[in-house]
């Protein structure tokens, strides 16, 4: 027997087509088909879609290619603002063994539980494999040719995304799903922060902080308060997350984008620390999405558009 995989995921945005499927270039330049789920639905409505591919000699081979494809789709979904949710490879709909057996006999096929994410399975040489599935509808769309072009621009065979890059992509895709603009805004800022690792301050600054920490011994403080202040001072050896973002964005995108970042951070501080501006983040949430996406593109080496 050969092995196959099915990668089933949610999208917050549909595709601009009434067709039920279209092809994209995946790992190794192989064509993979993105299909509406259940079969026959139009891709125009956001909801569930899947990619199914077969002919692998082992389950590990199928899982490896599927993992590379998922990374490639995640990256393309991020830069095209699709809102892809690949879940955690868990069942979302299932049936009892007795009911499954009855349905398989009636329909003359194998029936598998629906998985949100990756499902690797052994193919039956005689019986087709079908899935117990559900569907959803919506209105926002993305042109299939534009998405296929984004997929082709990403080398799915040699993807080596860092954990930070993967988390940032997942957060940006999550932020596309319907939610309050405040939630979308904060999620997008978090995605930007994930990409900006805090660096160490200069040697002179670190030496000054060490000297300051030593002086705590001379103060009339309880041990708990002294330890707390000492830890606070020593934590300053690394730059703040806002300084890290300012530095990284300046390095990759230039000074004008730093100004945008500072405007975003001002709005974030107003919302999170002052409790002001709730429900007024629509415009700045859009700016945060654009900046975080531009930063991600630069971080993973994709050309700007």
CA 89 to CA 301: how far, in whole Å? 29
* Segment 112-157, tens digit of pLDDT: 888 999 999 999 888 888 887 543 333 457 889 999 988 988 876 5
**Residue 137: what pLDDT?**
39
Q: Left (φ > 0), alpha (ψ -120 to 50) or beta: where does 203 sit?
A: alpha
Q: Show Cβ contacts of residue 178 under 8 Å, excluding neighbours closer than 6 positions.
A: 12
**Residue 147: what pLDDT?**
92
* Segment 186-221, tens digit of pLDDT: 999 999 999 999 877 777 776 777 777 777 777 777
Tokens 């002179």, residue located = 204
**Residue closest to 5 by CA, chosen among 89, 120, 169:** 120
* Segment 40-69, tens digit of pLDDT: 889 999 999 999 999 999 999 999 999 999
**Residue 305: what pLDDT?**
55
DSSP 42-88: -TTS-EEEEEEEEEESSHHHHHHHHHHHHHHHHHHHHHTT--EE-TT
* Segment 99-114, tens digit of pLDDT: 678 878 888 888 888 8
**Residue 200: what pLDDT?**
75
* Segment 240-279, tens digit of pLDDT: 889 999 999 999 999 999 999 999 999 999 999 989 988 8
Contact assessment for residue 203 and residue 108, using Cβ atoms and an 8 Å cutoff:
no
Return the domain boundaries, the chain. 3-160, 186-198+240-300, 203-235
Q: Where does the pLDDT of residue 166 fall: very low under 50, low under 70, confident under 90, or very high at 90 and above? A: very high
**Residue 239: what pLDDT?**
82
> What is residue 39's DSSP assignment?
T
Q: Is the pLDDT of residue 165 over 90?
A: yes
Q: Is the pLDDT of residue 3 over 80?
A: yes
Strand 114-122 and strand 3-11: the pairing is antiparallel
**Residue 94: what pLDDT?**
58
**Residue 133: what pLDDT?**
53
Write down the pTM of the prediction. Answer: 0.75
**Residue closest to 93 by CA, chosen among 73, 109, 63, 114:** 114
- Phi (first) and psi of residue 271, to 5 degrees: -75, -45
């Amino acid at each position: 027997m050969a092995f196959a995989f099915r990668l089933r995921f949610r999208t917050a945005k549909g595709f601009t087509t009434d067709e039920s499927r279209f092809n994209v270039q995946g790992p190794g330049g192989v064509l993979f088909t993105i299909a509406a789920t259940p079969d026959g639905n139009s891709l125009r409505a956001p909801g569930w879609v899947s990619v199914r591919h077969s002919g692998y000699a082992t389950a590990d081979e199928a899982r490896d290619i599927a993992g590379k494809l998922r990374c490639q789709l995640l990256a393309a979904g991020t830069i095209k603002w699709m809102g892809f949710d690949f879940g955690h490879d868990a069942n979302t709909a299932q049936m009892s063994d007795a009911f499954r057996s009855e349905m398989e006999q009636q329909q003359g096929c194998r029936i598998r539980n629906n998985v949100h994410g990756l499902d690797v399975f052994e193919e039956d040489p005689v019986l087709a494999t079908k899935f117990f599935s559900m569907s959803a509808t919506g209105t926002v769309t993305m042109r299939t040719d534009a998405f296929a072009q984004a997929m082709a621009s990403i080398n799915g065979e040699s993807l080596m995304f860092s954990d930070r890059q993967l988390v940032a992509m997942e957060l940006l895709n999550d932020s596309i799903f319907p939610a309050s603009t405040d939630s979308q805004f904060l999620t997008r800022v978090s995605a930007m922060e994930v990409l900006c690792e805090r660096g160490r301050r200069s040697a002179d600054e670190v030496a000054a902080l060490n000297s300051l920490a030593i002086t705590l011994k001379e103060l009339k403080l309880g041990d708990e308060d002294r330890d707390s202040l000492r830890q606070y001072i020593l934590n300053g050896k690394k730059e703040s997350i806002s300084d890290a973002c300012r530095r990284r964005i300046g390095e990759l995108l230039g000074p004008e984008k730093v100004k945008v970042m500072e405007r975003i951070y001002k709005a974030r501080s107003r919302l999170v620390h002052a409790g002001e501006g709730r429900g007024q983040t629509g415009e700045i949430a859009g700016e945060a999405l654009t900046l975080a996406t531009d930063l991600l593109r630069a971080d993973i080496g994709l050309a700007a558009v």
